[in-house]
């Protein structure tokens, strides 16, 4: 008998352009790290809205604040007008996130998405330095609009622009040639060589772990080296923490372990707390040289985002939150290690950090096969990497340990089935 949700899905396939081909069902309910489709089947979420749902679906504390705010007729949209919701968010972000970490940034609202934050970061770096070039890295992903796409490495996505994308030079990311080649030293040599053709850029932009680019994680030493190279040449350092920020790698900012101090930080995705569109660009105060109106956008004053974001910051007051993330990260690491141990014939490696880890397969098809097998068993997970060769596990940070354990067991079963 045909299930009603599949009928809807097939109709979607014929009528709309933007539908999901990997998860062939219709979802209608979600709570923390679980979703249910219209047939009542339960799924465990190892995708977390591509990093927008670090605090889970329908987080009850955040939801209640949003309901209260709406019932009190709180302002929902305000652009640059000051509102109580915005003031509360700004002071909480300063007091709970920036000050305890010794960070001093001006907070800017660049528009609703991560791409908006990246665009604003690159523009301000150009204005501050008077230079045009940007250095980005192999396998970087910074967004899909022309400016951010110019710093995105993926050739398939770049082709989609339909125009030549200038102004970015791509350097090899940490580990690109294996662990024996120091790519920071390579970059430094090119910057200092008058014959290299590489110009001193306005900025270097990087992700500490490349989320879309295959879960490549830079070492803390490499990040510190890149920071030193930037400082010595007055190059601005932009950390794109759109996906890795808000706790994904284990700390609020993904660069905290390395102890670096970027000039600009891009945040989006989970900063909105509840899956609501929101983005921030954090700029060192001395570089805040824009005049009013030089970078604007209609949806940069989403007050529901501020309300949800303010509430979400409470997690960072709890001294056990980071240790909890670390414990869950260890559970994932152990489970992935076990998977590879059981299948010694599979050419694969574990990548990632914190609650974004996965398996990179030498045979790329195995990654999507694993995701498909896992989906059949009620796990939502996606691939990443230039050849879609990485099966990526990315649950909400708030996933219950028992549910995480259960989900990991199902992924191991899916792998066993696939290898039979
Ligand atoms: N930077 C990074 C590191 C990202 O992962 C993404 C989205 N995957 C973006 C920028 C772009 O964000 P958005 O899709 O919200 O524009």
pLDDT in tens, 169-225: 999 999 999 999 999 999 999 999 999 999 999 999 999 999 999 999 999 999 999
Atom from ligand 1 closest to the CA of residue 52 = 15
Which pLDDT score, from 0 to 100, does residue 14 have?
A: 76
- Write the pLDDT tens digit of every residue in 109-161: 999 999 999 999 999 999 999 999 999 999 999 999 999 999 999 999 999 99
CA of 144 to the centre of ligand 1 (A): 8
- Residue nearest to ligand 1 atom 1, measured at CA: 142
Is 391's pLDDT higher than 90?
yes
Q: Tell me the average pLDDT of the chain.
A: 96
| 270 assigned to some structural domain | yes
Asked if residue 182 and residue 234 are part of one domain, the reply reads yes
Asked if residue 242 and residue 118 are part of one domain, the reply reads yes
CA of 418 to the centre of ligand 1 (A): 31
CA of 243 to the centre of ligand 1 (A): 6
| 154 assigned to some structural domain | yes
Which pLDDT score, from 0 to 100, does residue 10 have?
A: 75
Number of other residues whose CB lies within 10 A of the CB of residue 59: 24
Question: Rounded to a whole number, what is the distance in angstroms from the first to the last CA of the chain?
Answer: 29
Which pLDDT score, from 0 to 100, does residue 195 have?
A: 98
Asked if residue 152 and residue 22 are part of one domain, the reply reads no
Asked if residue 220 and residue 71 are part of one domain, the reply reads yes
Atom from ligand 1 closest to the CA of residue 244 = 3
Asked if residue 87 and residue 207 are part of one domain, the reply reads yes
How many angstroms separate the CA atoms of 257 and 134, rounded?
A: 25
Find, among 355, 392, 400, 401, the residue nearest to 374 by Cα. Answer: 392
Domain end (from 291, 317, 343): 317
* CA 264, chain centre distance (Å): 16
From 18, 117, 142, the mutation candidate for ligand 1 (largest count of ligand atoms within 8 A of CB) is 142
| 235 assigned to some structural domain | yes
Which pLDDT score, from 0 to 100, does residue 3 have?
A: 59
| 124 assigned to some structural domain | yes
CA of 143 to the centre of ligand 1 (A): 5
| 57 assigned to some structural domain | no
Domain count, the chain: 2
Find, among 65, 76, 23, the residue nearest to 45 by Cα. Answer: 23
Lowest mean pLDDT among 9-13, 219-223, 306-310, 395-399: 9-13
Is 367's pLDDT higher than 90?
yes
Domain end (from 301, 317, 333): 317
Band of pLDDT at residue 4, cut at 50, 70 and 90: low
Is 2's pLDDT higher than 90?
no
User: What pTM was estimated for this model as a whole?
Assistant: 0.97
Asked if residue 66 and residue 8 are part of one domain, the reply reads no
Asked if residue 164 and residue 23 are part of one domain, the reply reads no
Asked if residue 7 and residue 84 are part of one domain, the reply reads no
| 72 assigned to some structural domain | yes
Residues 88-104, mean pLDDT to the nearest whole number: 98
Which pLDDT score, from 0 to 100, does residue 1 have?
A: 43
Asked if residue 234 and residue 103 are part of one domain, the reply reads yes
Ligand 1 lining (C-beta closer than 6 Å): 50, 113-115, 118, 141-143, 207, 211-212, 240, 242-243, 268
Which pLDDT score, from 0 to 100, does residue 20 have?
A: 75
Instruction: Identify the burial level of 190 via C-beta atoms within 10 angstroms of its C-beta, where 0-12 means exposed, 13-18 middle and 19 or more buried.
Output: middle
Which pLDDT score, from 0 to 100, does residue 12 have?
A: 74
Find, among 30, 65, 62, the residue nearest to 48 by Cα. Answer: 30
Instruction: Domain of residue 19: give its range.
Output: 1-27
**Residues paired with 239 in a beta bridge:** 206, 265
Asked if residue 213 and residue 121 are part of one domain, the reply reads yes
CA of 162 to the centre of ligand 1 (A): 20
Which pLDDT score, from 0 to 100, does residue 6 have?
A: 72
Q: Identify which has the larger pLDDT, 46 or 4.
A: 46
Asked if residue 80 and residue 7 are part of one domain, the reply reads no
- Residue nearest to ligand 1 atom 5, measured at CA: 243
Asked if residue 23 and residue 68 are part of one domain, the reply reads no
- Write the pLDDT tens digit of every residue in 314-331: 999 999 999 999 999 999
Which pLDDT score, from 0 to 100, does residue 11 have?
A: 76
| 185 assigned to some structural domain | yes
Longest CA pairwise span in the chain (Å): 71
| 70 assigned to some structural domain | yes
Residues in Cβ contact with 17 at an 8 Å cutoff, skipping those fewer than 6 apart: none
Residue 85, domain CATH: 3.40.640.10
The fraction of the chain above a pLDDT of 90, given in percent, is: 91
- Write the pLDDT tens digit of every residue in 277-303: 999 999 999 999 999 889 988 998 899
Residues 26-47, mean pLDDT to the nearest whole number: 96
């Amino acid at each position: 008998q045909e299930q009603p949700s599949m009928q809807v899905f097939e109709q979607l396939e014929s009528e709309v352009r933007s539908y999901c081909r990997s998860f062939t069902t219709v979802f209608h309910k979600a709570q923390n790290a679980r979703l249910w489709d219209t047939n009542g089947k339960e799924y465990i979420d190892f995708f977390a809205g591509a990093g927008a749902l670090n605090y889970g679906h329908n987080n009850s504390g955040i939801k209640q604040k949003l309901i209260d705010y709406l019932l009190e007729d709180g302002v929902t949209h305000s652009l640059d007008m000051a509102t109580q919701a915005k003031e509360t968010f700004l002071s909480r972000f300063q007091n709970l996130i920036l000050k305890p970490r010794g960070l001093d940034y001006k907070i800017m609202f660049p528009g609703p998405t991560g791409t908006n934050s990246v665009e604003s970061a690159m523009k301000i770096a150009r204005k501050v330095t008077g230079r045009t070039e940007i250095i980005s890295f192999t396998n970087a992903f910074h967004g899909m609009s022309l400016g951010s796409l110019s710093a995105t490495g993926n050739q398939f996505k770049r082709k989609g622009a339909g125009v030549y994308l200038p102004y970015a030079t791509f350097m090899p990311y940490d580990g690109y040639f294996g662990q024996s080649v120091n790519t920071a030293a390579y970059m430094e040599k090119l910057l200092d060589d008058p014959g290299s053709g590489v110009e001193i850029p306005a900025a270097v932009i990087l992700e500490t772990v490349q989320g879309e680019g295959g879960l490549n994680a830079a070492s803390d030493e490499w990040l510190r080296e890149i920071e030193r190279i930037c400082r010595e040449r007055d190059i601005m350092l932009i950390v794109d923490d759109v996906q890795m920020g808000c706790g994904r790698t284990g700390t609020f900012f993904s660069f905290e372990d390395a102890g670096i101090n970027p000039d600009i930080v891009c945040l989006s995705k989970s900063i909105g707390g509840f899956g609501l569109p929101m983005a921030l660009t954090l700029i060192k105060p001395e570089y805040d040289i824009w005049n009013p109106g030089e970078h604007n956008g209609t949806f940069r004053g989403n007050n529901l985002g501020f309300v949800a974001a303010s509430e979400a910051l409470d997690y960072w007051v709890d001294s056990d939150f980071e240790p909890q993330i670390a414990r869950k990260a260890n559970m994932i690491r152990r489970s992935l290690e076990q998977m590879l141990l059981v299948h010694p014939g599979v050419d694969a490696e574990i990548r990632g950090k914190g609650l974004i880890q996965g398996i990179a397969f030498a045979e790329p098809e195995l990654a999507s096969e694993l995701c498909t097998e896992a989906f059949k068993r009620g796990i939502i997970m996606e691939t990443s990497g230039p050849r879609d060769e990485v099966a990526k596990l990315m649950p909400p940070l708030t996933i219950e340990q028992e549910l995480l354990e259960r989900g990991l067991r199902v992924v191991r079963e899916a792998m066993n089935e696939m290898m039979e």
